[in-house]
Amino acid sequence: QVQLVESGGGLVQAGDSLRLACAASGLTFSSYAMGWFRQAPGKEREFVGAITLSTATTYYADSVKGRFTISRDNAKNTVYLQMNSLKPEDTAVYYCAARVVLATRYAYWGQGTQVTVSS
């Protein structure tokens, strides 16, 4: 049974930093590209960023580029989202997801963790 469990969310002030973690189990973690998504109240879920099997390849939404960094530790089956210079518009539930490299869709999703940024 595949499980993705996010942690690290919370309430912070604008300009602060947070690091989210997503621990994976039940899959061969090193064979999956990992993505981060978020969904704000009343809005559709949006892509935040992703990291491929090679940690040298990351992708980010324009809205977070330069502020957020994705990394992964295959030995710990964990992917991270370092969020710096947080803005109130970053407030959302953040989800991690796993995708087989050649697939177009993410097959597995976590339950999400709330990030709230106050102004």
User: From residue 69, how far is each of 5, 21, 74, 119 by CA, in Å?
Assistant: 19, 12, 16, 22
Is residue 4 within 8 Å of 98, Cβ to Cβ?
Answer: yes
Percent of the chain scored above 90 by pLDDT? 92
Q: Which residue has the tokens 């324009």?
A: 62
Per residue in 54-106, pLDDT tens?
Answer: 667 999 999 999 999 999 999 999 999 999 999 999 999 999 999 997 888 99
